Amino acid sequence: MFYFSVPLGKLVRKVSRLRGGGSALPGLVVEKIDPGFMQRTLSTLPHGVAVVSGTNGKTTTTKMVVELLESQGLKVFTNRTGSNFTRGVAAALLGDVDWRGRLDADIAILELDEAHAVHFVNRVPPRYCLLLNVLRDQLDRFGEIDKTADLLALIAAKTTDTVVLNREDPRVARIAEQLTGQDVAWFGLDDSLLSTFPNDDDLRTAPGGAVPAGLPSTPDADVVLRGVGADSATFEYDGATVTTQMKLRGVYNIFNAAAALTLARRICVAGAAKANQDTLLTALSQVEPAFGRGESLTVEGQPLDLVLVKNPSGFRLGLKSFPAGGYATMVAINDNYADGRDMSWLWDVEFDSLRDGGVDQLTGARAYDMALRLQYDDVRIGAVDPEIAPALASFIRSAQGKPKRIFCTYTAMLAIRRELSKITTVEVVS
């Protein structure tokens, strides 16, 4: 059957890309004239759809699952960063289908924002879902943290086959108790690493004081992260322990590698491909960070790391994973919708680890909120300039010959990347 919506949507996509426009418009057009497009197209995939959701790490985890499955010979459709809502999926599909609307893929791995994922799964029940965590992110958007957990539970409820859950996040783990009939697969952490993953309930209290009770007993995980080295990680699965090199850095990225491995292995076992452990591990070791997630650029011969910080847990993990020693540090805080508009979250992060070296440059719409925060943690502050372009230029100038690191919120990162693309090679995000 021929749907004229497809060539029309593809045309809109082409035109809007020529104009340098946003990625969602063509999705909007095709959704309007052909509401069944997304569901119809995705339902043709032989191994169905897997949804990745949660507060932190969706983009990197999705990227890992895709690369793991591709290493097993599967053709994977995925949505790119910045389009993690339904319309964005439709737009991404338009780019990949042929003019008759056929999608040449075995499976779709989709990163979906918690709230939009609920709309999505109501229309396209996924075969698999992977739920990473529930952290304090943009509470002004969803109201509160328990509501976010409810959204994830809805995604799990609509999943037909296998739900992959984080054993160490009590709000995610308890989703298992509400499921009826789906298989549950777990990924987990070694006890020795638990302390490096403070959950939001441990924020200001003594250990053991966390509010939500976890599961009554600790379930066996498919994949457990046993250890993290400077550029390696140790995983345990199928009763054996394996250590592999990793290009990803940051302990939370590597925990998400356990998540990705769990989902990819489940998909293979379900018949999509014959899981070859060697090629899976090789693929895992070669995954590069997604943009802004601890990626390293080169500026004037020195590394410049971008670390995206979106919420207190992410910021604390970022500080822990990327120690300040030897680095010049800049922090860029915006308060646009995509950043989270309430600045309260900065007060839930401890900045003691920056005390030795101080922070050389602060920028962003809320640069002075950050300065105030650092003052209360006795951290030395260099220059403050809310304007990102001049602040970045002055940071690069003043820290000449030193490796640099920038902790930034989402829209601040986009602005910084735009500036950096003028002086170095930066991946273009479509």
Partner 1 sequence: MTDQSAVRESTSKGTLRVLQLYPRDMNIYGDWGNALVMQRRISWHGYTPELLEYNVGDPFPADVDIIVGGGGQDSGQLVIQADLLERAQELKTLADGGTPMLVICGLYQLFGHRFVTRTGSEIKGIGVLDVETHGTDERLIGNVVVATDEFGDVLGYENHSGQTTLGSGVAPLGTTTKGMGNNSTDGHEGVRYRNVVASYLHGSLLPKNPAVADFLIKTAATRKFGSYSPGSLDDRYVAKARELAARRPR
Which residues contact partner 1 by CB under 8 A? 136, 139-140, 143-146, 200-201, 203-205, 209, 211-212, 335, 341-348, 365-369, 371-373, 375-376, 378, 381, 384, 386
If you search the block for the tokens 């959204």, which residue do you land on? 151
- In the complex, the smallest distance separating the C-beta of residue 424 from partner 1, rounded to whole angstroms, is 30
Can you spell out the DSSP letters for 24-81?
Answer: SHHHHHHHHH-TTHHHHHHTT-TT-EEEEESSS-HHHHHHHHHHHHHHTT--EEEPPT
- In the complex, the smallest distance separating the C-beta of residue 368 from partner 1, rounded to whole angstroms, is 4
Residue nearer to partner 1 on the CB measure, 12 or 365: 365
Residue nearer to partner 1 on the CB measure, 79 or 361: 361
- In the complex, the smallest distance separating the C-beta of residue 275 from partner 1, rounded to whole angstroms, is 40
- In the complex, the smallest distance separating the C-beta of residue 93 from partner 1, rounded to whole angstroms, is 33
Name residues whose C-beta falls within 8 Å of residue 17's C-beta, 6 or more positions apart in sequence: 430
Residue nearer to partner 1 on the CB measure, 2 or 376: 376
Residue nearer to partner 1 on the CB measure, 204 or 397: 204
Name residues whose C-beta falls within 8 Å of residue 262's C-beta, 6 or more positions apart in sequence: 130, 164, 185, 186, 187, 221, 222, 223
Name residues whose C-beta falls within 8 Å of residue 192's C-beta, 6 or more positions apart in sequence: 227
Residue nearer to partner 1 on the CB measure, 209 or 390: 209
Name residues whose C-beta falls within 8 Å of residue 317's C-beta, 6 or more positions apart in sequence: 196, 197, 250, 251, 252
- In the complex, the smallest distance separating the C-beta of residue 355 from partner 1, rounded to whole angstroms, is 10
Structure tokens at 161: 């086959």
Other beta carbons less than 10 A from residue 167's beta carbon: 21
Length of the chain: 430
Residue nearer to partner 1 on the CB measure, 288 or 348: 348
Residue nearer to partner 1 on the CB measure, 17 or 355: 355
Cα 176 to chain centroid, rounded: 22
d(CA 395, CA 12): 41
- In the complex, the smallest distance separating the C-beta of residue 188 from partner 1, rounded to whole angstroms, is 24
- In the complex, the smallest distance separating the C-beta of residue 204 from partner 1, rounded to whole angstroms, is 5
The three-point CA angle 408-411-416 to 5° equals 65
